[in-house]
Chains A and B, each alone.
Chain A
Amino acid sequence: MNAVIETRGLTKTYGTVHALAGLDLTIPKGGVYGVLGPNGAGKSTLFRILLGLIRPTSGTASVMGGAVGNIASMRRMGSMIETPRYPPYLTARQALKWLALSHGMSGDVDIARWLDRVGLTEAADRRVRGFSVGMLQRLGVAAALLNEPELIILDEPTSGMDPPGIQDMRALIRSLADDDGVTVVLASHQLLEVQRICDRVAIMNKGKLVREGSVSELTSVGARLSLSVTPIAKALDVLGGKGRHEGAHVLVDTPRAEGPAVIRALVESGVDIDEARWVGADLESIFFTETGAVQTPEAI
């Protein structure tokens, strides 16, 4: 596995607070990688260390095969940390030109192409002081893409965006990974969004890695089959110890792969099935289980 980011025993301490507590993380090349965790889990601290904004207390971190701070490696990466800000008197086009010069690119970099890619063509010559948060986010993504990076790190890329903007951003992120071969690493609080666009995820809590794996792997473990059946008693007989009656449904603890066989057995035994669906194994429930965070009614 070709790693684009690797951390070993990464620790960052602020006084008595351990923002990162010996984090070992390997992010493979390719695809979209999500970093999840409640507030204070250490996601932003991790990103800031990877970008060289802060120094770790101990441990090591490498980006694109070079230590953090190795400029040659860092120039193969793009990033957007929180909502970016720019000198307010610059237009969007000038802001990108300024960043291109700052990053050692020639002044004739194709800025119009990146503005078009993030949907800012019409606002290209407007001063950024009048931009909404969503527009600043889009410009931030364009800035991160300017040097055609192999790796892009995005912290809350859809924060402050309206629903169409979020949809566009999701499509852009997937297209970067699928069409351009860019490895995208993103942090987001939008668990559904992460489940939709990420190939792999890492769940962090209290500065440590608590779960890591592909989204399909994680969501296939611990899922239960929820059935709406009649008669319920007969269904429970057929299922034996695997099934239990809960409300109007029968819940079956079984691996996803055995789901069709369970349904077939019930149908062959004369049980009518009105509805069948997998419950409880989405990224959200895994997140709450692993982090011990309390699910609010809204979150449920």
Chain B
Amino acid sequence: MLIDAIRAEGFRLARSRTTWFWSILFAPLISLALSVLGMVFMKANEARLMETANMPPEAMEVFAKAPIDMAQALAETAGKLDSVLLLPFVLIGVATLYACDYRWETWRLISARNTRPNLLLGKIAVAVALALVAITFMLFSGVIESFIQGAVFNRPLAFEATGDLVGQFFARFGLSWLRVVQFGILALLAAVVTRSLLAALFIPMVIAVAQFFSPQMLGPIGMAPDAWFAILVNPSAATDALKMAASGGMEAAALPAGLLLKAWISMGLWTLLPALGAIAWFKRQDLSKE
């Protein structure tokens, strides 16, 4: 039964070219285009930039010819895939997926022959896959960017994937994915409660911006950044702590004791509670007027 809902949602999403463009292709394409423009600008002004860099020519030469470590670049990019700049584009697809049945009044076509929790879980499963595809495309755009950078500046490409780096890559990528999924779940709750596509899109964005600024607001009221409340209300800080732990080294060692447990609990609560809330609300919802 759940598999029916997943197959149907997947089929429908696969045919929505607009959703594919805006939530998967647009951000990587724009990001790549802006990077290439930046590179072209730098190449065109290379001599002037080197003059103003105030570095010994030998050092400049070494720097300019140093290989681009793609493995390192990938691991770093993997940790930034949940950025507030990328999020709105992924949310376009996710919000459409969650709110479209209200918008098109299609619940009445599908709700009678499956359970309501299955219908929402099917949407969540497809949204999770959509988020994965979106951030993977973004990652690929980073790889292409490295190739172009190598070609434009005549720098060799290197790929030194040590065991530690591979681990860091997957940990950062997974955490970024979980964070995007988390905002998707908030979009689901907003869609179910308000029945509105715009609310499903903007409410998670407002929460993302609020979480971005909340650490700066907790300090002045005397709350330590690793306090239970600070971590529970701000999963953004929790993700940062987890990513830092995944990176290893001095920064990871300096993390306060018990912070990672708090961070995982915060991440779990911010993912599960909105999902359970949406399912509970949807189970009792009047679908006569979608």
User: Looking across the interface, which residue of chain B has its beta carbon closest to that of A50?
Assistant: B112
Contact (Cβ within 8 A) B1 A99: no
A102 touching B113 in the complex, CB below 8 Å, given contacts A54-B287, A87-B16, A97-B11: yes
The stretch that binds A, out of B37-45, B73-81, B100-108, is: B100-108
Chain A, 7-45, CB within 8 A of any chain B CB? 44-45
Q: Which residues of A sit under 8 angstroms from B284, Cβ to Cβ? A: 55
* A side interface size, CB within 8 A: 32
Q: Which residues of A sit under 8 angstroms from B105, Cβ to Cβ? A: 84-85
Select which of A51, A71, A94 is within 8 A of B114 by beta carbon: A71
Instruction: Among A85, A97, A98, A147, find the residue whose CB has the most chain B CB atoms closer than 10 A.
Output: A98
Contact (Cβ within 8 A) B113 A103: yes
Chain B, 18-62, CB within 8 A of any chain A CB? 18
Select which of B12, B17, B108, B115 is within 8 A of A98 by beta carbon: B12
Cβ of A89 within 8 Å of any chain B Cβ, yes or no, is yes
Contact (Cβ within 8 A) A53 B107: yes
A74 touching B112 in the complex, CB below 8 Å, given contacts A54-B286, A89-B15: yes
- What CA separation (Å) do A77 and B111 show in the bound complex? 12
- What CA separation (Å) do A143 and B110 show in the bound complex? 10
Select which of A75, A88, A143 is within 8 A of B109 by beta carbon: A143
Cβ of A48 within 8 Å of any chain B Cβ, yes or no, is yes
Select which of A54, A75, A79, A102 is within 8 A of B8 by beta carbon: A102
Contact (Cβ within 8 A) A102 B108: no
User: Looking across the interface, which residue of chain B has its beta carbon closest to that of A105?
Assistant: B4
Instruction: Among A90, A98, A102, find the residue whose CB has the most chain B CB atoms closer than 10 A.
Output: A102
Question: Nearest chain B CB to A81's CB is how many angstroms away?
Answer: 5
Q: Which residues of B sit under 8 angstroms from A147, Cβ to Cβ? A: 113
Chain A contact residues, majority secondary structure: loop
Cβ of B155 within 8 Å of any chain A Cβ, yes or no, is no
Select which of A48, A89, A104 is within 8 A of B17 by beta carbon: A89
Chain A, 191-230, CB within 8 A of any chain B CB? none
Q: Which residues of A sit under 8 angstroms from B111, Cβ to Cβ? A: 51-53
Contact (Cβ within 8 A) A79 B110: no
Cβ of B5 within 8 Å of any chain A Cβ, yes or no, is yes
Question: Nearest chain B CB to A62's CB is how many angstroms away?
Answer: 14
Contact (Cβ within 8 A) B113 A88: no
Contact (Cβ within 8 A) B15 A94: yes
Select which of B12, B106, B112 is within 8 A of A51 by beta carbon: B112
A51 touching B108 in the complex, CB below 8 Å, given contacts A74-B113, A75-B113, A89-B18: yes
Question: Nearest chain A CB to B3's CB is how many angstroms away?
Answer: 8
B residues whose Cβ falls under 8 Å from a Cβ of A? 1, 4-5, 7-8, 11-12, 15-18, 100, 104-115, 284, 286-288
8 closest pairs, A vs B, by CB? A102-B8, A101-B8, A104-B4, A53-B287, A101-B7, A102-B110, A103-B113, A51-B112
A selection of 26 A-B contacts at a CB cut-off of 8 Å is: A45-B288, A48-B288, A52-B112, A53-B108, A53-B111, A54-B288, A55-B284, A71-B114, A74-B112, A79-B112, A81-B108, A84-B105, A84-B108, A87-B12, A87-B16, A89-B17, A98-B11, A98-B12, A102-B4, A102-B8, A102-B109, A103-B4, A103-B110, A103-B113, A104-B114, A147-B113
